[in-house]
Each structure stands twice: as C-alpha cells, then as structure tokens.
Amino acid sequence: TELRKEIEGSLIADIKTTDLVVFDDIGAELGSGVSNSRQFTNNTLNTLLEARQNKATIITTNLSGPELREAYGERIVSRIFKNSEGYALKFQQTADKRIKPVKGSIA
C-alpha cells in the first residue's frame, strides 16, 4: 500500500543517515539451514550497507563468512566486511539464554 511504501521509505532514509545502526541477527530471516536470501532483502541490505560505509554500524549474525556468502552473495559480504578488519568479535559456544535461564535471574 501507499502508506507502507511511505513508512519504508522514511525508515530507510533514517537508517542511511543515523549516527549508529545495529543490524541484529543477519540471516535469521532465512530460517534453519542456510539458503539464498530473497532479492528484496538483498537489494535493501545492499542499499543500506552502501549508504552506511564509513559510518558506525554493528552487524550481528550466527552465520560464518562462507555461510554469509552463500546466503547473500559476494557483493553484500564485501560491504559487510569493508572497514571491519580488526573489529570482529567472535563468540564460540555461547549458550542461548532464551533456552537456559541465566543464573540469578528472576523467572
């Protein structure tokens, strides 16, 4: 609808220019097992990542580099990793706190 397009356009414009953006859990929309992302997702992500070059952007994912390439292609991965050398944090064997309660938490 027209309203949806207007909201999406406004949101994308804000994401392009804001001081800091966090793209959380890239790849979660693919479901279980890595597959190719949809063209709309790729186009939107490419537009946003291109606009965010040299701006504070945090990206989280459970996918490895090769899995990201398989899902999104080299162009998207190139934009994700550009200017990120030395800034990647890798957490191995991190328990899912949504499944296992955190010690001392209120349940």
The chain-wide mean pLDDT, for the chain, equals 83
Domain that holds residue 38: 2-81
Query: Looking at residue 21, what is its pLDDT?
Result: 95
Give me the helices (H) in 32-83, please: 39-51, 65-72, 74-81
Query: Is residue 89 included in any domain, yes or no?
Result: no
Query: Looking at residue 102, what is its pLDDT?
Result: 59
Tens of pLDDT along 39-90? 888 888 999 999 999 899 999 988 888 999 999 999 999 998 887 776 777 7
Query: Is residue 14 included in any domain, yes or no?
Result: yes
pTM of the model: 0.72
What is the full DSSP assignment across 71-85?
Answer: HH-HHHHHHHHTT-T
Domain count of the fold of the chain: 1
